[in-house]
Amino acid sequence: MKMNVKFCRIDDRLIHGQVVTTWVNVHGIEQIIILNKEVAEDQVQSSVLKMTAPANVKLAIFSPEKFLEIIQKNPINRATMLLFSSVYDVEKIVNGGFKMEKLNVGGMRLNPEREQLTKAVSVTEDERKVFKKLLANGIDINIQMVPNDSPIKLKELV
């Protein structure tokens, strides 16, 4: 089944200025699909995200499990960005059979449980393990906030 997924990104802020303006334009994105169970179940947060998405871009929000169900019957035809707030949601769809070649990591904020890898990306030990599994699955993972930044290969940091 051919999917028209142009870009996959982890950003714990989900839709914000950088995502909306730069990445959407660079990849000719027509649709953003946010994959996060909590956001999918939170109508207020979903509404706010829908208001922040550009007018010309369709926004859908699903749990990873629902997404895997939907794409069995409905292949993605629009140029699409998959947007995640955590590496665990990426792991769920990959384990569910979704083929991902590349993953962009834009923002995972530092907190007391996380160790800083770059200015914008920090990970817990568990998140590091999941990233290593994804890398072992052949997924090319780069850290890059905006397209003008030089990408940093995650495998060199974990």
DSSP string, 127-157: HHHHHHHHHHTT-EEEE-SSTTSPPEEGGGT
Which residue, 3, 2, 6, 4, is CA-closest to 81? 6
What pTM did the predictor assign?
0.95
95, two tokens: 């384990």
Using pLDDT thresholds of 50, 70 and 90, give the confidence band for residue 54: confident
Q: What is the pLDDT of residue 32?
A: 95
Residue 9, pLDDT > 60, answer yes
- Rounded to 5 degrees, φ, ψ at 91 are -60, -40
Distance CA 99, CA 93 (A): 8
Residue 139 tokens read as 């997924």
Closest CA to 89 of 38, 157, 145: 38
The pLDDT score that the predictor gives to residue 2 is: 56
Q: How many H-runs (helices) and E-runs (strands) does the chain carry?
A: 7, 9
Q: How many residues does the chain have?
A: 158
Is residue 27 part of the annotated active site? The answer reads no
Is residue 1 pLDDT above 90, yes or no? no
For the chain, what is the mean pLDDT?
A: 94
- Report which residue type is found at 117: L
Catalytic residue from among 4, 16, 48, 119: 16
- Bridge partners of 95, per DSSP, are none
Residue 83 has pLDDT above 90, yes or no: yes
Give 20's pLDDT tier (boundaries 50, 70, 90): confident
